[in-house]
Structure 1
Amino acid sequence: MSGDHLCACGPERAPIPVAQRGRHLVVDLHCHMNIAAAEALIRAEVENPPNPLAFMSAASMATNAKLFAAIGRKLNGIDERLADMDRLGVDVQAISPSPGQYYYFAPDELGRDAARMVNDGIAAAVAQHPDRLVGMGTVPLQNVEMAVREMRRCVGDLGLRGIEIGTNVAGRELAEDAFRPFFAAAEELGVLLFLHPLGFTHGARLAEHYLDNIIGNPLESSIALSHLIFGGVLEQHSRLKLCVAHGGGYLPAYWGRMDHAYRARDDCRRFITREPSSYLRQVWLDTLVFDRDQLDALVRTHGADKLCLGTDYPFDMGEPDPVGFHAHLPDPVKARLLGLNAAQLLGLSPLCDSCGRE
């Protein structure tokens, strides 16, 4: 791999060799794993933990219950993953925690211990198939010092290549000054941050029809990303590697409005020095948008070098044909979106399946 590729995964971390089976390397940047031991720890210590999906209707809750019963083995383990990856044409999964395992609501020490359980569980799963799986962890952001320490352990001791973060920390915005040391440490380490929502914090009007997920998840990401932009986090930490799930929410389709606000209003220029869309284009987005016209729009306006395939495996709101969804794109663009961009972000070095060479 090139020197730029090595720099993308950090100055002290060698690329991870991974299997490539077809014409293009295919890396799924957006898929999840639940670590049951951490969930049990939280339930044993926290009475009535908050439910971020509390706004959902009874019909949506019932459908979710059937879903989790159906995908439980896939979400909680890796026994069926490789067969599904082969069926979908995916060479590598970058597995991140199930979003319900952020545990930012827990007392600091309990949150730290649960995060360590999650990260140890993901590292153990990756170790079973290191050519097919790469890991992303979680950190207890309710205590920034602990979060930075756990992130360094994830990178230095466990070999994880990313940290998944929520769109808020128990209701606090990520752009608060208190979280700047975390973003500074992530920038220093060169580790990928994967921003993933879990429902919408003010979803009373989104109860029916699964709108808390359909509209709420992208809206939640849009709000969090807007705070990171207007609050100056992406200006202060311009080398931060940040990828936003679900195509980045709604901002990539409506960035002109925030640019106009920047030009028209003093209060939208307090912490930034250029148009907001320029910071938006610093971040990576996954391609989980389901519609090829919308995918083409992202390629045109956001750029082929900042997009990565994501499926949301094993959930029902995932992309059922990830390789086919990108098949219409020009070959150089397709290669980047299917796997090359993610390989650079995560520090992966593809090996040809037929000859074993990089």
Structure 2
Amino acid sequence: MTVQPCSPSRPIQVAARGRELVVDIHAHLHVAAAVAVVGRENAGPPPAVADFSSPASDAVNARQFAAIADVLASAEARLPDMDRLGVDVQALSPSPGQFYYHLDAELARSAARVINDGIAAEVAKAPDRFVGMGTVPLQNAGMAVAELRRCVRDLDLRGVEINANVDGRDLDDPTLRPFWAAAEELGTLVFIHPLGFTEGRRLRDHYFNNLIGNPLEATLAIGHLIFGGVLDRHPGLRICVAHGGGYLPGYWGRMDHGWRAREDCRAGCEHPPSSYLRRLWLDTLVFDRDQLDSLVRTHGADRLCLGSDYPFDMAEPDPVGFHQGLDENDRAKILGLNAAALLGLHVAGGRA
């Protein structure tokens, strides 16, 4: 399966420091300047997520954010970690708490512009080590499309990160159709990263709103993209889903059976659901080698990308070593070649 290069005409020159190019498609950057735009009271996760936590988890999160503050906010500060981990390039996407879909659209647009400018500025400090993915105010599709075009055309960002829902609206909501059309037209990568689960009343304890909620949100997002017809209407979309795509890659047979057995499951998609699932890219942040091997076997190495979730505590601690033992060609694709094609990277003398 051949992936056509990312649509921007200028390839980004990068270098492989080891035997293989290593691109981390799942790494976050917090843009502190946006907090001044939205106000400190709005700077954290939205109420739909923040309400489903516990004092114990809040205390751990507070210590975590204090410990990672420098590397979360600075591209240059993380270069030693990248060298230690063997990562050549990070794709910087906004810290998920900075989606801001629950705010007034104009305020969210202003914050998105600051975030995107901030990411572009950090990328410019080491353009051979970083590429950028921005954010858009999806609560207003027109504003989102305009900011998407600015990200691609003015800032040379190679994708946008979006939540798995838009303040409770699912990704097949008709109001989002202009965004999906523009993303397909521009050929830009859409990286879906959940921020907890919006109905997490039973997920407050044990950090379940992340441990279970994030993969569950990813599962729902993919389900709505498939059953809601988004992937039928826009077959050219480039979508990568964090956290291994949630639960569907390991249980897609139930979707296909329902599609065959029930007309209400067939109403929105023309083909068996698993056929759409394999048109998406997934990151490999699954932590368990048996699960990684299963993804390679069932989803295919051509549609998998290394993702670490740097710099959070839920990150894979050894993202390159985690892929040791894979077939050499599969490993090279997953470690960097697939992401290079999606993001428009070129390695001098290499295969990307």
TM-score in same-fold range (> 0.5):
yes
CA–CA distance in structure 2, aligned partners of residues 303 and 44 of structure 1: 43
Over 3 Å counting, the alpha-carbon distance change for 1:57 and 1:320 in structure 2 is same
Aligned equivalent of 1:81: 78
- 1:114-145 CA-to-partner distances (Å, cap 9, x unmatched) read 00000000000000100000000000001101
Instruction: Indicate conservation of the 8 Å contact 2:43/2:98, yes or no.
Output: no
Task: Extract unaligned runs of 5+ from structure 2.
Answer: none
CA–CA distance in structure 1, aligned partners of residues 86 and 211 of structure 2: 26
Instruction: Indicate conservation of the 8 Å contact 2:187/2:238, yes or no.
Output: yes
- 1:258-313 CA-to-partner distances (Å, cap 9, x unmatched) read 00000000100111111001011110000000000000000000000000000000
Aligned equivalent of 1:179: 176
Aligned equivalent of 2:157: 160
- 1:84-103 CA-to-partner distances (Å, cap 9, x unmatched) read 00000000000000001111
Q: Does 1:18 align with 2:17?
A: no
Q: 1:197-208 to 2 correspondence within 5 Å? A: 197-208=194-205
Q: Percent identity?
A: 64
Aligned equivalent of 2:107: 110
Instruction: Indicate conservation of the 8 Å contact 1:53/1:212, yes or no.
Output: no
Instruction: Indicate conservation of the 8 Å contact 1:6/1:13, yes or no.
Output: no
- TM-score by structure 2 length? 0.96
Cα deviation, residue 163, structure 1:
0.4
CA–CA distance in structure 2, aligned partners of residues 142 and 299 of structure 1: 35
Counterpart of 1:53 (choices 50, 57, 62) is 50
CA–CA distance in structure 2, aligned partners of residues 339 and 195 of structure 1: 19
- TM-score by structure 1 length? 0.95
Match of 1:31, as an amino acid?
A
CA–CA distance in structure 2, aligned partners of residues 153 and 50 of structure 1: 26
CA–CA distance in structure 2, aligned partners of residues 15 and 295 of structure 1: 30
Aligned equivalent of 1:43: 39
- With 39-48 and 157-166 compared, the bigger mean Cα shift is at 39-48
Q: Does 1:30 align with 2:30?
A: no
Cα deviation, residue 80, structure 1:
2.0
Cα deviation, residue 40, structure 1:
2.2
Q: Does 1:100 align with 2:126?
A: no
Over 3 Å counting, the alpha-carbon distance change for 1:45 and 1:205 in structure 2 is closer
Aligned equivalent of 1:145: 142
- 1:129-180 CA-to-partner distances (Å, cap 9, x unmatched) read 0000000000000110110000000000000000000011111111011111
Question: Matched residue pairs, number?
Answer: 351
Cα deviation, residue 78, structure 1:
2.0
Once superposed, what is the RMSD of the aligned Cα atoms?
1.8
Instruction: Indicate conservation of the 8 Å contact 2:306/2:336, yes or no.
Output: yes
Over 3 Å counting, the alpha-carbon distance change for 1:311 and 1:200 in structure 2 is same
